[in-house]
Structure 1
Amino acid sequence: MNPVAILAREFRFFQDAQLLKKWTGDISPESDFLVADDFERAVDAFPNNIAFRFEGQSTTYAEFDALASRFANWALAQGLKAGDCVSLFMENRPEYVAAWAGFSKAGLVTALINHNLEGDALAHCVNIAATKLIVTGAEQDEALRAAMDRVLGTPAVWSLGGTFGGDLGGALEAFSAARPDRKHRAGLLGKDLCLYVYTSGTTGMPKAARLTQARTQGMMRSFIAPCRITPKDKVYITLPLYHGTGGLCGIGQALMTGATAVIRRKFSASAFWDDAATEGVTAIVYIGELCRYLLNSPPHPKERAHRIRTGFGNGLRPEVWQAFLDRFSIPHLCEFYGSTEGNVSFLNFDGKVGAVGRIPGWLKSQFKHIAFVKFDVENEHPVRGPDGMCIRAAVDEAGEALGQIGDDVRQRFEGYNDASATEKKLLRDVFEKGDLWFRTGDLLRMDKDGYIYFVDRIGDTFRWKGENVSTNEVGEAMSQIEGIKTANVYGVSIPGTDGKAGMAAITVEGEVDFAGLYAALDAKLPTYAVPIFIRVQPEAETTGTFKYRKVELVADGFDPEKVSEPLWILDPGERRYMPMTPGRYAMLLSGGYKF
C-alpha cells in the first residue's frame, strides 16, 4: 500500500473512531440517562418519521412511543415495580420492540427469550430470570402451554393474538398512551439491569447474560458511526429480535437516529431481494451464514436492483465476503467481533476482507484492557511462563482474547444469572497478581498492521498429529469444493490415538466427487488438517442465529450404528474416502488404520 493510501486509510479510521466516540461517549455506569430516555429523545426529535415497516404497514416514531407507553402503564397496573422481570416470548414484529422499550420506561427488566424454544429449555429460560409475568404471541401458544407445568411461580401469561393467556391486545387499549412518570425509573443508573439476553445454547442450556442500561445503550449505538446512518436510511433486519445483533444493535442503529427499521418475521433467501428493492433498503444486518445462503441461492432479478450501501454483522467468512460484495453490488460491510455479555469487541471500519477489526498503533493506548495470550489447545488453557503469568501472543500468532475487568463501561462484565457459568469466564493473575480478566473463549490473531482476525472457538480448535487444527479454516476450505454447500467441522477421538481427528458434517448441492475429494482438500490444507471422517446431512443443524450445533454431532461420532446418514472414512493407504461400513469401523477400532 502506497503512503497516500495509508494516510487516507488512517484518516478515515480516525474519522470513524471520532464518530463512534460522539455516539457512545456519554454512556456511563453512573449516568441516570437510561435506555428509555434514549428512545424518548429519538421520538421527540423524529415524531413523524417512520420507525417500522412490517408486512406492508408503517409505524411512526410517535405511534411506537404511544404503544410503548401503553405497555408501561399496563405493566405498572399489574403491580410490577422497578427491577421486576417480564419474559418476552414472541416472534419478530414492531410490538416486540415496543414491549421491552415500554417496560424499560417503568424500570422493569425484560428477558428476551428465543421464540423457537420448547419444553425444558423454555422453562429454564423463564425460571432463571425470576419472571413475574410472561408476554407472548399467537405463534407461541402451544410451546408455552406445554412448558407451563415446569415454570416456577406460575407467572401470569398475556398474549397478543393468542389463545393461551389473557388478551393483551384488548387490555392495552384500556391504558393511556401518555408516557408514565419518570419517577418509576428514578434512582436507576447505567449500571442497573435492563435486559436478559440468552446465549444460543450450542453446548447446553442457554445462559442468561445480564445487560445493564449502559451496556444496552452501547450496543444500540455502536454501529451508527461505522455505517454512517442518517434519518434517511432504512435498515433491513431479518435476524431474530431476541438476539443482540438484530434486536439491539440493528434496532438501535435505526431507532436512535430517526431511520426506519424494516423488519421481517424471519429470514427468507427467496424474499430478501424483493424486500430490499420494494422497501428501498439502504443498510442490512447480517450473520455470516445468512450471506452464504444468499450467495448459494439462484440468481434473482432484483439482487442488484437495490439501494443497499452498507451493513454490519459478524461471522462472515473470507471466502464468502468478497464474492458477496461483488455479486450483489454492496459497497461496504462492517464486520465486528464481540459477544453479548463480554468486554472484548472490535469493529472493522474500513472493510478489509477477513478482518474483524483493527487496533492501529496510534490507538493502542486506548485498548490496554484487551490482550491476546498464548494458548495450549490440547489442554484448553492459557500458557503460563516460569513466573506463573500468562504470555502475550506474538504478531500473527493465535491466542485467546482476554478483556481486563474494570469499572469503565467498556471493561465491565456483569456475568450470568448462574454463578458457576460466570466463574468459568474469569481468569485471574494474568499479568500480575490479583488482576481479573474475562475469557472470550475465542482464538484471534493480530497482524503487524493491527488488523485482527478470528481463528476459531476454543474447543473447536483441536490437536492432531502434534498440530493445531482450526475448524474454521477447514470449514472454509471444504466450502470451496464443488458440490459442498456447508461444512461443520469438529474433532472426535479415535481409540488408541492421541489428540482428536477431524470430522466434517456436510450438506451437499449437486454431486460431490468423493473419489477425488481427498486430493482436492490436500491441495488446500495441510495434510494433518484434512478430515478423517465425513458425514452427509440433509440439512445443517443450526441455532436460531445460524450457529452450527456440534455437541450432538461429537456425541454421535463416526459409529455407523448411531448415524443413519452416509458416513465416509479416509483410507490412508488408498488416499481417498471410502464408505464407512461395519467392517471398516471394526478395522478402525482394532487399530487397522494408520493415520
Structure 2
Amino acid sequence: MTARNLARLLTDRAASRPGLRLGTVDDQLRLDEALALAAGRARRLLDSGVRPGDRVALVAPTSTDYLLTWTACVLAGVPVALVNPTYPADLSDQMLGRLGPKLVLGQDDLAAARTSGTGDPADLPGVAADAFDTVSYMHTSGTTGLPKFCVQTGVYFLRLARAMSEALELTPDDRVLAPLPLFHINPMGYGMLGALYAGADALTVERFSARRFWPDVVEQGVTALVLHAPPVEILKRATTAEDAAGHRIRTMFYADGEFLARFSVPAAVSGYGSTEAAGVTHLKRWSATDTLPPDASRHGGPARADVEWRLDRAGLIQVREREPGALFGGYLTPDGVDPARDAEGWFDTGDFGRLDADGDLVFVERGSESIRVKGEFVPVPFVENHLAGIPGLTDFALWKRPGELVDEEVVLYAAADPLPYDDLVKAVSQLPSFMRPVTVAQIARVPRDAAAGKVQRRLLAEQEVIRWTDLV
C-alpha cells in the first residue's frame, strides 16, 4: 500500500489525476472538484459539533451527493454507517439504536454536499488519521436476525482496493462502472475504491436498469464492470448482443461464461469473500477463451497474500489475517466491538466450501442458507441452475421444510402460473435423489432484497402459498 490511510489515497489521487471522473453516469465530477466539495462538507460537519471518532449514519439511495457525503465523513475522520434506505422504518430504528450515531443523514441532507462551500482536504483530521482507525460500517443482510454492523478500517479498504485493482488489472486509462447500491461492499469496495486505487474513473448509477445499462456503458466508454449474480442474470435475460454492440469492456468482476460469450467480454474475475472476510479473500482471473465451468463465479482461486484460510471437517470456510487489518474489525455491539475470532485469530465465515483440482477454494453455499438431505448438503445454486432453463419457470427459489424424520425436504417456491409441471418433473428426475424438490409452492412473488436483488430465503416459508403441487 502506498497511501498512509484512506483519506490520503483520495487526496493523492486528486493530486496525481485531478481530472479523474467520479459520480453517477448522469452526474460526474472531476476528482479535485469532488474533494474540494467534500472538504467543505466535512468542515461543516465538524463545525456542527460532530467530532472525529463520532459515528454518523448515512441512510440514502446512491447518488453523486451520496459519494460526496461519504467522502466528507472520511476526510473528517468520522466513521460513517451505510444503511439500506429501503429497510422498513422499524428495522432501521432498531439498527440505529444499536449504532448510537451522533447524526443521521438522510436523502434530504445530501444536498448540503454542494452547498457547504469548498475546502482544503489537507486541513482535515481524516488525512492524519491512523490507518487502523474505523472509517465505515456496513451491515450484514440479516437473514438470521437483526443486521449487524461490520467495522471497516482504513487498512481494510486499502488492502481490498489494491487486491481488486490488481485482479482486474486496472490502469488510469480505465473507466469502471459499479452500478449497484453503494451501501454494499461490492460496488463501494470492489468498484469505486478499486478504481480510485488504480487512478481510474469511478462511476455508478442511481438505480440499476437493464434498459439503460448497455447504452450507458457504450456512451460512457466504460472499460471495466463490477457486477454480481442478480444483475448478470437480469442482463442475460433482458438484453442481447445487439444491445451491447460498440462497448469497450475489457474486464469485469463476476465470472459467467454465458455472459462473457454473449457480450464479447474478454476477461473476468471470480472471487470469494464477504463484508467480514476482507471484502474478498480469494480472487481468480478467467479469459473468455478458457472453458469456464457453470459455477465459475464460485471459484475463489488462490487466497490473497495477506489472508490465510482453511476448511474445517464439515467444510466450513475459516479465514485469518496474515497482515493486520486485512479482515473486518469485528461486529459492533452495545458493549463495544466483538472481534468475532477464536483464540488463534480464525474467523468462521459460516460458509461451506470445497477444493478444486488445484487445491484452491470453491464456495458452495452460505451456511445459513444450506439444505441437508440424507446427510448431504444440497448444492442450491447447482439445482437452481439446472431448473433455470425450464420455459415458464422464470422466478423461483429453492428452500426447505422439516422432513418426517431428521432430514429436511427440498421445496421449490415458484411465481409461475400455470406451472410447467411436465417439464419440471422431467428436469427434477435428472437430479440425484437428495437434490430433488419434493413439492412446489406457488406464490405471488419470490421475496428479494430490494437493493441487491438477492433471494431472502428465510422469508420464503412466510409467503402465502396459492397452491401446493407434489413432484414425487
TM-score (norm 2): 0.90
Are 2:402 and 1:402 aligned? no
Are 2:51 and 1:77 aligned? no
CA displacement at 1:264 relative to structure 2: 0.9
Match of residue 149, structure 2, among 191, 196, 208: 208
Structure 1: 5+ residue stretches without partners: 1-23, 28-32, 139-158, 162-167, 376-398, 429-433, 557-562, 573-595
Match of residue 372, structure 1, among 275, 300, 311: 311
How is 1:31-70 mapped onto 2 (pairs within 5 angstroms)? 33-55=4-26, 57-70=27-40
Q: Which residue of 2 aligns with 1:155?
A: none
> Match for 1:178: what amino acid?
D
CA displacement at 1:70 relative to structure 2: 1.0
CA displacement at 1:199 relative to structure 2: 1.0
**8 Å Cα contact 1:238/1:263 also seen in 2:** yes
CA displacement at 1:106 relative to structure 2: 1.6
Match of residue 299, structure 2, among 351, 356, 359: 356
**8 Å Cα contact 2:138/2:185 also seen in 1:** yes
> Match for 1:35: what amino acid?
L
Match of residue 235, structure 2, among 266, 274, 294: 294
Distance in 2, matches of 1:439 and 1:86, equals 29
**8 Å Cα contact 2:386/2:427 also seen in 1:** no
Q: Which residue of 1 aligns with 2:467?
A: 566
Q: Which residue of 1 aligns with 2:94?
A: 124
Distance in 2, matches of 1:281 and 1:238, equals 12
Are 2:173 and 1:272 aligned? no
Distance 1:54 1:73, change over 3 A: same
**8 Å Cα contact 2:6/2:158 also seen in 1:** yes
Match of residue 262, structure 2, among 327, 340, 351: 327
Deviations 1:319-352 (A, max 9, x none): xx21111111111111111011225710012355
When Rg is computed on C-alpha atoms for both structures, the one with the higher figure is 1
Q: Which residue of 2 aligns with 1:136?
A: 106
Structure 2: 5+ residue stretches without partners: none
How is 1:382-461 mapped onto 2 (pairs within 5 angstroms)? 399-404=315-320, 408-410=324-326, 412-418=327-333, 425-426=340-341, 428=342, 434-461=343-370
Aligned length: 463
User: SS of the counterpart of 1:459?
Assistant: helix
CA displacement at 1:451 relative to structure 2: 3.6
CA displacement at 1:283 relative to structure 2: 1.0
**8 Å Cα contact 1:537/1:565 also seen in 2:** yes
CA displacement at 1:288 relative to structure 2: 0.8
**8 Å Cα contact 2:282/2:300 also seen in 1:** yes
Are 2:453 and 1:546 aligned? yes
Distance in 2, matches of 1:468 and 1:52, equals 43
User: SS of the counterpart of 1:348?
Assistant: strand
Match of residue 439, structure 2, among 521, 524, 533: 533
CA displacement at 1:118 relative to structure 2: 2.6
CA displacement at 1:545 relative to structure 2: 1.5
User: SS of the counterpart of 1:226?
Assistant: helix
User: SS of the counterpart of 1:453?
Assistant: strand
> Match for 2:119: what amino acid?
A
> Match for 1:515: what amino acid?
D
Deviations 1:191-239 (A, max 9, x none): 2111011112223321100001111222233211121212221111210
Match of residue 514, structure 1, among 421, 424, 427: 421
> Match for 1:272: what amino acid?
F
**8 Å Cα contact 2:267/2:285 also seen in 1:** no
Are 2:291 and 1:341 aligned? no
Distance in 2, matches of 1:368 and 1:62, equals 34
Distance in 1, matches of 2:30 and 2:102, equals 31
Deviations 1:494-539 (A, max 9, x none): 3x3321000122344x96530342222221x202211012223443
**8 Å Cα contact 2:275/2:328 also seen in 1:** no
Q: Choose 341-350 or 190-199, whichever is displaced more.
A: 341-350
CA displacement at 1:462 relative to structure 2: 2.4
**8 Å Cα contact 2:172/2:200 also seen in 1:** yes
Distance in 1, matches of 2:118 and 2:397, equals 51
Distance in 1, matches of 2:172 and 2:23, equals 13
Distance in 2, matches of 1:237 and 1:292, equals 16
CA displacement at 1:465 relative to structure 2: 3.1
Distance in 2, matches of 1:424 and 1:537, equals 40
Deviations 1:384-435 (A, max 9, x none): xxxxxxxxxxxxxxx111013576333x452111279987954x4xxxxx53
**8 Å Cα contact 2:37/2:118 also seen in 1:** no
Distance 1:413 1:93, change over 3 A: closer
Are 2:139 and 1:181 aligned? no
Distance in 1, matches of 2:7 and 2:383, equals 45
> Match for 1:547: what amino acid?
K
Distance in 1, matches of 2:239 and 2:18, equals 41
Distance 1:438 1:564, change over 3 A: same
Match of residue 235, structure 1, among 154, 176, 180: 176
Deviations 1:294-341 (A, max 9, x none): 11115363223211111114xx6xxxx211111111111111110112
**8 Å Cα contact 1:349/1:357 also seen in 2:** no
> Match for 1:356: what amino acid?
H
Distance in 1, matches of 2:283 and 2:270, equals 6
What root-mean-square deviation, in Å, do the aligned CA atoms of Structure 1 and Structure 2 show? 2.6
Distance in 2, matches of 1:46 and 1:491, equals 52
Distance in 2, matches of 1:404 and 1:178, equals 38
Q: Which residue of 2 aligns with 1:252?
A: 193
Q: Which residue of 1 aligns with 2:379?
A: 470
Q: Which residue of 1 aligns with 2:78?
A: 108
User: SS of the counterpart of 1:81?
Assistant: coil
Distance in 2, matches of 1:552 and 1:402, equals 27
Q: Which residue of 2 aligns with 1:87?
A: 57
TM-score (norm 1): 0.72
Distance in 1, matches of 2:339 and 2:373, equals 26
User: SS of the counterpart of 1:222?
Assistant: helix
Distance 1:421 1:245, change over 3 A: farther
Distance 1:356 1:420, change over 3 A: farther
**8 Å Cα contact 1:190/1:213 also seen in 2:** yes
**8 Å Cα contact 1:90/1:136 also seen in 2:** yes
> Match for 1:404: what amino acid?
R
| Identity among equivalent pairs (%) | 25
**8 Å Cα contact 1:462/1:499 also seen in 2:** no
CA displacement at 1:129 relative to structure 2: 2.2
Deviations 1:529-585 (A, max 9, x none): 1101222344332112222101222345xxxxxx24333222x3xxxxxxxxxxxxx
Distance 1:526 1:504, change over 3 A: same
Distance in 1, matches of 2:321 and 2:171, equals 34
> Match for 1:84: what amino acid?
D
**8 Å Cα contact 2:331/2:340 also seen in 1:** no
Distance 1:419 1:401, change over 3 A: farther
Deviations 1:106-128 (A, max 9, x none): 21111111121231111123222
Q: Choose 250-259 or 276-285, whichever is displaced more.
A: 250-259
Distance 1:413 1:247, change over 3 A: closer
